[in-house]
Amino acid sequence: MNSTPRIMITGVGAVCGAGLGVDAIWSAILDGRSAVAPIRQWDSSRWPARLAAEVTEVSSQTLVEDRRLHKFISRTDMFGLYAAQGAIQQSGLLAHREKLEAPAVTRFNDRSGVFVGSGGGVYQNNYDFLPLITASGGDLKGFGRELTSTVNPMWLLRNLPNNVLCYIGIRHGFKGTNACITNQCVGGIMAVAEAAAALRSGEADRAVAAGHDATIDPETVLHFHKLGLLAEDAVRPFDRDRRGTVLGEGAAAFVLETDEGARSRKAEIVGEFLGSGCSTEGTGVVGVRPDGAGLSQAIELALADAQVSSEEVGLIVAHGNGTRASDASEANAIHRVFGDRPPPVTAFKWAYGHLVAASGSIDLALALRALRDGVVPGIPTLNSLDPALAPLPVSQKPQSLRGSVAVIACRGFGGMNAVLVVRAVPVSRAE
């Protein structure tokens, strides 16, 4: 008899350029609306790359209600905290805790973990220092004398990579096992995998897992452009004329619980976590294996962990970043695992850009919604499938699911590949 607990997802929250909350983002996906537009955070009129998928017309107070916290956290932290709050609210954890007696509340808090995948930071984190560096003219003593009066004293606190993890715990009193993962693009999806592992091993009864990032700043955009990774008009996953990706910003978060815990409080079940897999290709910082062997290994590991066969998969949410090398490699990985009849494939970066550390997380949120609604959204920017990638079941139009299991693939610099497997569970109260 298998004693490993089943892991249920009982809350989901998200924010990105396509909308606030999963409902708004899902509506944009189904309507074919993309958030990719000219950059507004600075004057990009003379910049070599001018597009991004920004979160616009949303106040800081909408994201984080407590104004006192704003001076201690960065833009990316606000996204992470907003998404986490949405997931926690949907899960009903706090309402359940309010009904417990004091000893049970203590145990509840001690058994509630937090796992967060965050970006490694962007160049704008250091902009506070630039005027003083210029003014000091290379005089390090002069730089040191003026440092405290010139640079914001909250600089360090505002840029800690584990801010979201800390403030989730502080705000809600969650004192259990935790981890902050800064593994570039796969950080957010690995936070989910680590949270599930903690529940399976008995370290926690429930956990919040989030991924967040905000990479749209002048130097980051410039460097991605110099690497030849950015598109000039749109993200076109698997298209014959694809030219690259576009940076986005945002976050997604989840509440994971053991099946026993979720059912004992009659929680609403959004989906079931089945397994995860991770691999690294060792090809260099930006290189990927053309044959897709690294990603296919991660998919196979995830399916084995989930105890699911490739024939049972009904949907693949691809990384689909729109770069020529990555998309070709990903198509080869899919063929290696699923043969010439893979399940329907889709990708979402056309709508909200590449969210880096949050990219896998938000793809997971939408995979769960696709499973619930029984539809595989199309890719509106896909005009003509690259013949070299065929047969690949991607479409400009919506497709039907082939089953109740989804595979979510995420890739990052350094040859990182991370994959999750989840299953649909009808939205209902657990008995």
pLDDT tens digits for 94-116?
A: 999 999 999 999 999 999 999 99
Of 287-291, 314-318, 393-397, which gets the smallest average pLDDT? Answer: 287-291
3-state SS, residue 345: strand
Query: What pLDDT score was predicted for residue 286?
Result: 83
What do you get for the CA distance between the two ends of the chain, in Å? 22
- Which of the 8 DSSP states describes residue 405? E
Rounded to two decimals, the pTM is: 0.95
Q: Burial letters for 208-229: b for 16+ Cβ neighbours within 10 Å, e otherwise?
A: bbbbbbbbbbbebbeebbeeeb
Identify which of 286, 289, 280 has the alpha carbon closest to the alpha carbon of residue 224. Answer: 286
Amino acid 282: pLDDT: 83
- How many percent of the chain have pLDDT more than 90? 87
* Beta carbons within 8 Å of 12's beta carbon, 6+ residues apart: 22, 86, 87, 90, 252, 253, 254, 255, 270, 365, 368
Q: Residue 390: helix, strand or coil by DSSP?
A: coil
Q: Which residue has the higher pLDDT, 129 or 191?
A: 191
Options 3.40.50.150, 3.40.47.10, 3.40.50.2300, 2.40.50.140; CATH of 9-121+159-425: 3.40.47.10
Residue 194 tokens read as 């680590």
Asked if the model's pLDDT at residue 255 lies above 60, the reply is: yes
Q: What secondary structure letter does DSSP report for 109?
A: H
In whole angstroms, what is the distance from residue 109 CA to residue 96 CA? 12
The domains of the chain are located at 9-121+159-425, 126-155
Which of 51-55, 284-288, 387-391, 392-396 bottoms out in mean pLDDT, i.e. has the lowest?
284-288
Residue 380: pLDDT over 50: yes
Query: What confidence score (pLDDT) does residue 122 get?
Result: 80
Least confident of 152-161, 182-191, 309-318, 415-424: 152-161
pLDDT at 274 over 50: yes
* Residues 202, 260 contacting (CB under 8 angstroms): no
Closest CA to 413 of 270, 283, 230, 241: 283
> Regarding predicted confidence, which is higher, 431 or 27?
27
Q: Give the length of the chain.
A: 431
How far is the C-alpha of 109 from the C-alpha of 187, rounded, in Å? Answer: 25
**Which pair of tokens denotes residue 234?**
């749109």
Which candidate, 16, 418, 84, places its Cα nearest to that of 246?
A: 16
- Give which of 109, 108, 141, 146 is closest to 128, Cα–Cα: 146
Count Cβ atoms below 10 Å from residue 352 Cβ, excluding itself. 32
Give the Cα separation of 204 and 401 in Å (integer): 33
Please give the structure tokens belonging to residue 97: 């805790």
Ramachandran angles phi, psi of 3, nearest 5°: -95, -5
* Nearest C-alpha neighbor of 126 from the set 100, 106, 155, 149: 155
Q: If you average pLDDT over residues 317-341, what whole number do you get?
A: 97
- The pLDDT tens digits for 400-431 are 999 999 999 999 998 999 999 999 985 554 54
2 pLDDT more than 60: no
Nearest to 87 by CA among 182, 189, 4, 10: 10
Average pLDDT taken over every residue of the chain = 94
pLDDT at 232 over 50: yes
Cα→Cα distances 195→17, 253, 256, 306, Å: 26, 11, 7, 15
Quote the pLDDT of residue 82.
Answer: 98
With a pLDDT cut of 70, the percent of the chain lying above it is: 98
Which letter does DSSP use for residue 235 in this model?
-
pLDDT confidence band for 1 (50 / 70 / 90): very low
pLDDT, mean of residues 383-388: 97
| Residues 14/178, Cβ–Cβ less than 8 Å | no
Q: What is the pLDDT of residue 119?
A: 87
Q: What is the pLDDT of residue 426?
A: 59
Residue 94: DSSP 8-state: H
How would residue 375 be classed by pLDDT, with cut points 50, 70 and 90? very high
> For residue 355, is pLDDT > 50?
yes
Taking residues 351-379, report their average pLDDT.
97
Q: What is the dihedral of CA 24, 355, 56, 78, to 10 degrees?
A: 90
- Whether 266 has a pLDDT exceeding 90, the answer reads yes
- Sign for the CA dihedral angle at 257, 259, 260, 266 comes to positive
Between 152 and 202, the more confident residue is 202
Residue 305 has pLDDT above 50, yes or no: yes
DSSP for 160-220, written as a single string: -TTHHHHHHHHHHT--S-EEEE--GGGHHHHHHHHHHHHHHHTS-SEEEEEEEEE--SHHH
How far is it, in rounded angstroms, from Cα 386 to Cα 239?
5
